[in-house]
Amino acid sequence: MTDDNERREAVEVRCPKCGRIQIVYIPAEEIPKCPDDGTQMIIRELLDEGKVL
Protein backbone atom coordinates (compact mmCIF):
# COMPACT_ATOMS: atom_id res chain seq x y z
CA MET A 1 0.00 0.00 0.00
CA THR A 2 1.37 3.40 -0.99
CA ASP A 3 1.00 6.31 1.40
CA ASP A 4 -0.05 9.62 -0.24
CA ASN A 5 3.08 11.26 1.17
CA GLU A 6 5.28 8.73 -0.68
CA ARG A 7 3.50 8.90 -4.04
CA ARG A 8 5.76 10.22 -6.78
CA GLU A 9 4.50 12.26 -9.72
CA ALA A 10 6.43 12.77 -12.94
CA VAL A 11 6.64 16.42 -13.95
CA GLU A 12 8.28 18.19 -16.85
CA VAL A 13 10.41 21.15 -15.79
CA ARG A 14 11.78 23.85 -18.08
CA CYS A 15 14.46 26.50 -17.77
CA PRO A 16 12.83 29.90 -18.42
CA LYS A 17 16.13 31.29 -19.70
CA CYS A 18 17.42 28.70 -22.20
CA GLY A 19 14.39 26.42 -22.63
CA ARG A 20 16.09 23.18 -21.53
CA ILE A 21 13.49 20.53 -20.58
CA GLN A 22 13.92 17.76 -18.02
CA ILE A 23 11.66 15.21 -16.31
CA VAL A 24 11.82 14.83 -12.52
CA TYR A 25 9.75 12.95 -9.95
CA ILE A 26 8.33 14.96 -7.07
CA PRO A 27 8.44 14.85 -4.09
CA ALA A 28 11.31 12.31 -4.37
CA GLU A 29 13.48 14.88 -6.19
CA GLU A 30 13.79 18.63 -5.84
CA ILE A 31 13.08 20.94 -8.76
CA PRO A 32 16.60 21.30 -10.19
CA LYS A 33 18.60 24.28 -11.35
CA CYS A 34 19.47 24.28 -15.04
CA PRO A 35 22.85 22.57 -15.57
CA ASP A 36 23.58 24.94 -18.49
CA ASP A 37 23.09 28.33 -16.82
CA GLY A 38 22.15 27.76 -13.15
CA THR A 39 18.65 29.26 -13.39
CA GLN A 40 15.95 27.64 -11.20
CA MET A 41 13.77 25.49 -13.46
CA ILE A 42 9.97 25.77 -13.31
CA ILE A 43 7.21 23.16 -13.63
CA ARG A 44 5.88 23.15 -17.17
CA GLU A 45 3.53 20.16 -17.12
CA LEU A 46 2.36 17.31 -14.88
CA LEU A 47 2.88 14.06 -16.76
CA ASP A 48 -0.06 11.73 -16.17
CA GLU A 49 -0.15 8.11 -17.23
CA GLY A 50 -2.34 7.38 -20.22
CA LYS A 51 -1.95 10.82 -21.78
CA VAL A 52 -2.84 10.86 -25.48
CA LEU A 53 -0.79 13.11 -27.76
Predicted pLDDT at 39? 95
Question: Structural domain boundaries of the chain?
Answer: 7-47
Which phi and psi (to 5°) does residue 4 adopt? -60, -30
DSSP secondary structure of 4-38: GGG--EEEEEE-TTT--EEEEEETTSPPPBPTTT-
Predicted pLDDT at 51? 56
pTM of the model: 0.72
Q: Is residue 4 pLDDT above 90, yes or no?
A: no
Q: Is residue 32 pLDDT above 80, yes or no?
A: yes
Q: State what percent of residues in the chain have pLDDT above 70.
A: 79
Mean residue pLDDT of the chain comes to 85
More confident residue, 9 or 48: 9
